[in-house]
Amino acid sequence: MIPDETADDIQIAAEAQQRLAVQALAPAYVPACPGAGKTHVITLRHLQSPTRLLRQGRALISFTRVARDQMAQRCRQAGRSDLLHAPHFVGTLDSYLWEFLVKPLRATQPVPRLLESWSNVKAPVQGMDREISLHRFPMVLDPAVEPVRQGVAWNNVDRDTKRLLEKSEYDRGEWEAAALKTRDSWCKLGYFTGHEARYLALWNLRRPGRAAKLLPQLLSRFAEVVVDEAQDCSGADLAILEMLHDAGLPLVLVGDPDQAIYAWRGAQPAALQRLATKLTSAPVPLTGNWRSSPVICRLASTLRAGHRPPDTAVLREDDIPVVVLPTRFAGTGSNHRHASTSNGVVKAFRDVAQQYDIEAVDCLVTAYKYATLPGITREKQNTNQITSLAWARTVAHTEGATSAELTRACAVAVRVLFGYWFPGEVGSAERLCAAHGISLQQANRTAFTFLHSLPPPHKEWATDVWQAMKAWPAPSGVTPQHTKGRLAGAPVVARQAKATGVRTNIVHQLKGDEADAIMLILPDDGNVQRWAQGDPSADELLRVWYVAITRARRLATLAVPEEEAEDMAQMLTQYEVPVRIV
């Protein structure tokens, strides 16, 4: 047990670090460990703003809507809703670039609109020998050249799309040209995604005449811009931020390079460090972990670059050892078995958690890939419509489905219904609703009811969906055209696992999440060697593991191949991490 005075000293020191970060003058760099209270610090910094009407405000920028909403909620709870309105700005990086570096220089007609993804509209790549949707071609920017080079990120194309392309008569170069041409045609209709927002922001800032129209207004409006989770910035993001810094806009970057796990979308931790050094020679670190126990802090330190000492556990004194579960892995997550009991590995995890009075609701199972996880079937982002609709129907009938999953399921169903009701019309659901005098809220309610009415997916399910669409009451004035909008093919539906009471999600979806107990599933051979000898600064998978275990408050559990369990325990013991094999 830590003496009270020592615990008090630890908390006082951690609070002092937070105050320094709150009060640091911009430009500044705040490297923050997991559980450091970044959102708390950023919000406190914002709450310092006077209540009187300001000429200049502060921008709080995040990478996700969840983080944005958390900061907004804290401002409201503090009675400072004024901090969410002009001249301030609280939003995502995509929306910031769009609102202040792109939209002001766009024509007013057609009305420019920022999409979360090209999957929000039906946009097949035109002029080819098979139909592949535009969103299945991830785009990449190279800001190091002028003009900025852009094209398809072929390394990030999913397996199903690659199979379709292999059967095509056209080569990759022709598909890339067709994808860019299709994308440009949608841009002419006023539709853009975050990729285009970055491209246009770079274009505008690198042309003196256009920059002269944007920067004075930006510098006049914002006294500083705070970027949360800065380690997730892509090369294009960092190039834009550096130009804003050079123009005189004070930046505050808050992040943790050890949590950089989005290399597939262009995150560059090394480039972030270079920009951070340019901003300031005196970073303001946050090394107090208000989330995790000392054991978990020590475990996490084994996965960090530079062999830095463990972060300081501020509040927790739990000494629960790391648990290693010898596991026999199967093809699907629901069939993984605990080697010692032959029970499902999730049950074994729950049994261990219960030994420490941790309930199932406070347990979370995570892995690098969806295929490794137990639980309900997940939607593939790049799949055919009948499979997407089958996923949406499953979500609508799943007790405990998240609000994000339900929102996405409704969006899928709306797109299917609109494809039948408004054949040949292009545009987002919002634009079609506006054009036909339909409430988007009513469209979503209709879509959810439609999903609930559908029978369970099966091989001939497309026929059931077609009959349901024809029989479903259509909005006034809608005239479907024969079989246009009919879905074809058989849905690919994974078997749904039994409910366990334990949450599951891949690591890339866990930013901002936490639980008393975390189980990280490590099904591949060679985990111990990679853990012990790898370089986290160069190996993103090690950083993925780091993010996973730092979500834990009290208990970290590692499910590893049974033949590697002893080696894993010995390796962690050498790092002075308490561990036991169950």
Give the residue ranges of the annotated binding site for ATP: 32-39
* DSSP three-state, residue 73: helix
Give the C-alpha separation, 445 to 433, whole Å.
13
Q: Copy the structure tokens of residue 24.
A: 């640091």
Q: If you compute the radius of gyration of the chain from its CA atoms, what whole number of angstroms results?
A: 25
Give the C-alpha separation, 405 to 391, whole Å.
10
Contact residues for 124 (Cβ-Cβ < 8 A; gap 6+): 131, 132, 133, 134, 182
Annotated binding site: 32-39
Indicate the residue type of 23: Q
> Torsions phi, psi of 519, nearest 5?
-115, 120
**CB contact at 8 A, 218 and 100:** yes
**CB contact at 8 A, 267 and 260:** yes
* DSSP three-state, residue 199: helix
**Alpha carbon distances (Å) from 577 to 319, 354, 524, 532, 560:** 10, 22, 22, 13, 17
Q: How far is CA 25 from the centre of its chain?
A: 30
Contact residues for 402 (Cβ-Cβ < 8 A; gap 6+): none
- What is the CA angle 397-400-402, rounded to 5? 95
**CB contact at 8 A, 164 and 86:** no
